[in-house]
Amino acid sequence: MEIRPLEDLRTADNLSLAFNPYGLGGRMKPEDAAEFQQRQIADCDLAAGVATGTRDSFERLRTVFAYGVLCHDIYTMVADQALLIYEQALRDRFMEWCAGTITFRVPNSPDVSHTVSSYEDVKKRADAMRGRRAKLVVATHAIEFNGMLYGLRLWARAAGLLRGRRSRAIEDALAKLRNYVAHPSGHHVDTPVEAAGTVRDLAELINQLWGQATPGGRLYPAPLRREIAVLSWNGSGRARMEPADALTATDHVDGHEDDEYQHVVVRAIPFVPGSRWDDAHWAEFDTLYETTRFPMDYLWGPGTREQARTWLEKERPEGDSVDFIDRVFLVQDHGRLLPPMRPAVAAGLPDNERAGVWHAVRADFPDDAFAHVRGSGDRSAGHTRRPGDCAACSAEVLGCGSYDETLRAAAAALGPIQAVRPPSVRLPVSVFWPDRP
């Protein structure tokens, strides 16, 4: 080993300086690079209730990350250690959840409970019970549990601590990367971008385990704010979306042109070009089907601009927040596959519109649910047909069969469903969902 003088250890690594806000290219000044890199994870604060052991390990990561400007290899070390803390967080949260007692369900025998004071106790009990084909009792479920990362992930999902259908695939990827780090078979190098991304994902996962979603998060996002908006369209296929207060503007469009438009008032996530939460499907709005990417609620219309303004001034509806992940959709296959529908809307359908085979699917987005049902028709595609998580996509099957059977499956997941019968209103031009009845 070469013994380097202190002055060399204080010198910035040229490779680290190559990563700047615009990507690779050029070099930042050391002082600017140090500030820039620290800002990449500066907002990754943990929730107040996170276990001390997990919190200390995470904060140690953030401290060491800052020194990556002096030694580029530190970013690889940080990314690797973050993957190991993934399992530590699950263990710490498990110990809080079980509160000193774990219960196993044994075939043809009464449930067996054990007192545990550490996670090592948990692993020993899990190993001993595996020979009896026992399963861990989690609320109303009994799951396979080996005490390792795989079992912890099953437990966190069964306990409702981790959520989202798409995040499940990322959890799978994190688990595989963690196993690679724990049992390396080659050499790898992480960049500051990759290391910061892994730290941010870890922060989201830890906070979600302790019940706190992440505003603007990638894995476990917090509910999104919806505002009152107006959708308008004319006979030539032009459509627009504008905030409700734009209706008071007199110079928005000349009166003759506006007479050609129909207007609908909705509650929707604001359209912000370039945002992660852009809804590219907003112009697909349909009161009967879930054809927009994020939940959009019908409030009034259609009618003229003046009628919409009068209704808004009288009713003064307000915005709200909506959780868009882990939604339940019903998909009807009656000669052709129809777009997903909210269970409440399906519950209000007249008898003559309930025919065919129905599918109850939990997904984050309606197109995920639709793609699963369409793909499940091809047995070679690997989509799950029985209730449970699909191995081929980001969906969970809740049920399949007749209208009544599928609606019961949705109610089992959501609780009692209150039927609604909205008027049939849609924007006429559809790019993403052209095959609507």
Q: Taking residues 10-15, what's their average pLDDT?
A: 88
Residues 6+ apart with CB under 8 A from 58: 46, 50, 85, 202, 203, 206
User: Minimum mean pLDDT among 211-220, 264-273, 366-375: which range?
Assistant: 264-273
Mean pLDDT of the chain: 91
Instruction: Report whether pLDDT(211) > 90.
Output: yes
Which pLDDT value is given to residue 274?
Answer: 74
Residues 6+ apart with CB under 8 A from 347: 407, 417, 418, 419, 420
Which pLDDT value is given to residue 251?
Answer: 47
Percent of the chain with pLDDT over 70: 97
The model's pTM is 0.90
Name residue, tokens 């909205």.
Answer: 422
For residue 254 the two structure tokens come to 């000349």
pLDDT band at 346 (very low <50, low <70, confident <90, very high): very high
Instruction: Report whether pLDDT(284) > 60.
Output: yes
Q: Taking residues 183-191, what's their average pLDDT?
A: 86
DSSP 410: H
